[in-house]
């Protein structure tokens, strides 16, 4: 059978996928030939317009501009050529603001280069700045009821004491023996630690918690009858008299009297650079200050702030109570007419009384603004201290009349023995804590933490490893550390106050090194401390 020549010229029908395969094969051949010749394949327009449009439809390419003779991508500019007109004033400004050219070394073309750069950055030396501390401890006059020591290593002290350790600690504390090599007492760290945890207190009622006086835990106890109250008051008067005589003769550096509504701090002459015996009382009220004025006891309020004419505040440190009252009366009565003058002007007596009443009310409001705050702190110095001692001895407001502490006189706390005092020890609790995936050793001391306890703890038995100490301060007594000596340090050193104060207090029960800091007039030595860090590497302290 012979084929028809007309039918033999008709092209064979192909599936669209086969057509696309052939088209792509032709494109690859053309690209290969162009690479061999070294020309751009886009420059050779071998396809017709119909085939080109067919390719664009299936490949979803953007239509090319027929007027473009060369569609080769432009090269990226690596240099910026500025045609600057040197005759203009902007030439120098443009040169200064010209952006720096990117160096070819900064670009990384391989993954190994990036790794090398990361390793080079990691090898750069990082300078570690260590915290700079002091080789001395600050003095904080605020009372504390809890002290917690935390360290990554075990403490050399323990709450379990041997018989010899407990006996040696009590003997050394009662006799005020501070690192005396001539005695035959036990010098182990536990014995020295127990010596630092002791204090003297009066009264001591085992069934009552007498420190702190203001506590949220109210104990239900039977009321005290009148006979017991009189006995407690008489014993307390004898103890206060004994302490006052000790501090006058400089055989006691300080002591506290904690009442229900206020706290009194007695400090001997020479402490903190003060030349005379002085007393600090906080917080106080207008009624309490009026009682002092009625007893003609002069006092100052060193932390009180007065309002200046431009409504700013300034610290008031030099005016005593009489001068303060005269100044306030003078300022407040400048614009108040005299009663006789008001009567001469025909003002009625009732109107005069109303004016006086409103004025007294305004004055009372101004005086009561600082009540029960840090600004209400009262300071008594010199011969006025003896008058305050007599006032405090017979002050009925110092003893509560109601409540679970009704009839109990104020708590007396001292670092040295006095008449009627009982020897007490801080409660020690030893435990382990888990912080940040690490085990730490904790030692918690509960009780009245006196200002000399922490310095004694580090002076008698300094630990061999770093540790952190945190305190729980009594908020009402923090202002004790804010009272600073107003005299200049040069004047104090020239007059020899520090030398004589340290020498006169040599029998007060504190070691010579600690006493030197207690008598220093430098304001930096006295501050409030809530957290104390000891670094064993350089034997320094940092605090906040």
> 310: exposed, middle or buried (C-beta count within 10 Å: 0-12, 13-18, 19+)?
exposed
pLDDT of residue 32: 81
pLDDT of residue 108: 45
pLDDT of residue 434: 86
Please state, rounded to an integer, the average pLDDT across all residues of the chain. Answer: 78
The crossing angle, in degrees rounded to 10, of helices 226-248 and 384-393 is: 160
Element (H, E) at 321: helix 321-332
Structure tokens at 456: 């004694």
- Would you give the distance in Å from CA 339 to the centre of its chain? 54
Higher pLDDT, residue 462 or 517: 517
pLDDT of residue 159: 76
What's the pLDDT tens digit per position in 136-153? 899 999 999 999 999 988
- Is the per-residue pLDDT at 419 higher than 80? yes
pLDDT of residue 123: 52
Higher pLDDT, residue 362 or 381: 381
Q: Which of 125-129, 419-423, 456-460, 506-510 has the lowest mean pLDDT?
A: 125-129
The pLDDT-based confidence of 244 (bands split at 50, 70, 90) is very high
pLDDT of residue 268: 95
pLDDT of residue 42: 53
What's the mean pLDDT in 73-102?
50
Give the range with max mean pLDDT: 37-46, 315-324, 330-339, 341-350. 341-350
What's the pLDDT tens digit per position in 467-485? 899 999 999 999 999 998 7
pLDDT of residue 466: 86
The pLDDT-based confidence of 314 (bands split at 50, 70, 90) is very low
Higher pLDDT, residue 397 or 297: 297
Structure tokens at 426: 């801080």
What's the mean pLDDT in 352-378?
82
Structure tokens at 234: 């008489």
pLDDT of residue 494: 46
| Paired residues of 424 in beta bridges | 199
Helix, strand or coil, per DSSP, at residue 320: strand
Q: How far apart are CA 513 and CA 500, in angstroms?
A: 15
pLDDT of residue 276: 92
The pLDDT-based confidence of 251 (bands split at 50, 70, 90) is very high
- Is the per-residue pLDDT at 316 higher than 90? no
- Is the per-residue pLDDT at 336 higher than 50? no
pLDDT of residue 320: 46
Beta pairing class for 144-151 and 467-473: antiparallel
Structure tokens at 224: 């005290």
pLDDT of residue 305: 81
- Is the per-residue pLDDT at 6 higher than 70? no
Q: Which of 58-62, 373-377, 458-462 has the lowest mean pLDDT?
A: 58-62
- Is the per-residue pLDDT at 309 higher than 50? no
Q: How far apart are CA 532 and CA 137, in angstroms?
A: 9
- For the four alpha carbons of 510, 512, 514 and 515, in that order, the dihedral sign comes to positive
Sheet of 254-258: strands edge to edge? 378-381, 278-282, 263-267, 254-258, 411-414, 198-202, 422-425
The domain segmentation of the chain, as residue ranges, is: 159-214+225-424+484-508
What's the mean pLDDT in 117-144?
70
User: Given the structure tokens 């080079």, which residue do they identify?
Assistant: 120
Structure tokens at 50: 């119909």
Higher pLDDT, residue 509 or 490: 509
Residue 520 CB neighbours (<10 A): 22
- Is the per-residue pLDDT at 122 higher than 90? no
Question: 416 CB contacts (<8 Å, ≥6 apart)?
Answer: 176, 200, 246, 251, 252, 253, 508, 509
What's the pLDDT tens digit per position in 47-74? 444 445 545 554 555 566 666 655 555 5
What's the pLDDT tens digit per position in 254-285? 999 999 899 999 999 999 889 899 999 999 99
Q: Are the CB atoms for 141 and 265 separated by under 8 Å? A: yes
């Amino acid at each position: 059978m012979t084929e028809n020549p007309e039918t033999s010229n008709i092209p064979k029908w192909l599936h669209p996928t086969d057509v696309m395969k052939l088209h792509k094969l032709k494109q690859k051949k053309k690209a290969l030939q162009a690479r061999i010749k070294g020309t751009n394949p886009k420059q050779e327009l071998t396809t017709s317009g119909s085939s080109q449009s067919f390719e664009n439809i299936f490949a979803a390419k953007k239509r090319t501009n027929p007027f473009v003779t060369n569609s080769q991508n432009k090269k990226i500019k690596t240099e910026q050529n500025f045609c600057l007109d040197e005759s203009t004033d902007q030439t120098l400004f443009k040169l200064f603001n010209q952006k720096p050219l990117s160096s070819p070394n900064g670009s990384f073309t391989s993954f190994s280069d990036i790794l090398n750069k990361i390793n080079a950055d990691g090898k750069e030396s990082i300078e570690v700045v260590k915290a700079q501390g002091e080789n001395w401890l600050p003095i904080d006059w605020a009372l504390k009821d809890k002290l917690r020591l935390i360290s990554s290593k075990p403490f050399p002290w323990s709450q379990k004491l041997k018989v010899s350790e407990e006996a040696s600690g009590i003997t050394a504390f009662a006799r005020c023996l501070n690192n005396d090599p001539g005695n035959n007492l036990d010098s182990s760290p536990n014995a020295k630690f127990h010596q630092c945890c002791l204090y003297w207190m009066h009264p001591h009622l085992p069934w009552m918690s007498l420190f702190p006086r203001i506590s949220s835990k109210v104990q239900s106890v039977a009321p005290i009858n009148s006979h017991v109250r009189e006995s407690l008051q008489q014993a307390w008067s004898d103890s206060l008299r004994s302490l006052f005589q000790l501090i006058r003769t400089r055989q006691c550096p300080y002591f506290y009297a904690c009442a229900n509504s206020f706290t009194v701090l007695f400090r001997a002459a020479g402490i903190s650079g003060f030349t005379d015996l002085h007393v600090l009382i906080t917080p106080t009220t207008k009624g309490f200050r009026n009682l002092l004025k009625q007893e003609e006891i002069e006092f100052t309020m060193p932390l009180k702030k007065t309002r200046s004419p431009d409504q700013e505040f300034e610290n008031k440190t030099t005016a005593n109570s009489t001068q303060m009252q005269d100044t306030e009366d003078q300022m407040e009565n400048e614009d108040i007419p005299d009663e006789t003058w008001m009567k001469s002007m025909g003002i009625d007596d009732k109107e005069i009384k109303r004016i006086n009443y409103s004025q007294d009310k305004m004055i009372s409001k101004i005086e009561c603004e600082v009540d029960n705050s840090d600004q209400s702190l009262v300071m008594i110095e010199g011969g006025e201290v003896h008058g305050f001692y007599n006032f405090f001895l017979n002050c009925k407001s110092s003893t509560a009349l109601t409540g679970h502490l009704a009839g109990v006189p104020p708590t007396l706390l001292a670092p040295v023995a006095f008449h009627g005092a009982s020897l007490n020890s801080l409660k020690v609790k030893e435990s382990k804590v888990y912080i940040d995936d690490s085990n730490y050793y904790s030692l918690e001391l509960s009780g009245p933490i006196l200002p000399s306890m922490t310095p004694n703890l580090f002076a008698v038995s300094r630990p061999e490893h770093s540790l952190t100490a945190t305190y729980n301060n009594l908020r009402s007594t923090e202002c004790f550390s804010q009272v600073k000596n107003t005299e200049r340090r040069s004047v104090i050193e020239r007059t020899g106050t520090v030398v004589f104060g340290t020498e006169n207090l040599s029998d007060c029960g504190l070691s010579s090194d600690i006493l030197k800091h207690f008598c220093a007039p430098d304001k930096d030595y006295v501050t409030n401390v809530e957290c104390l860090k000891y670094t064993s590497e350089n034997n320094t302290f940092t605090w906040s």
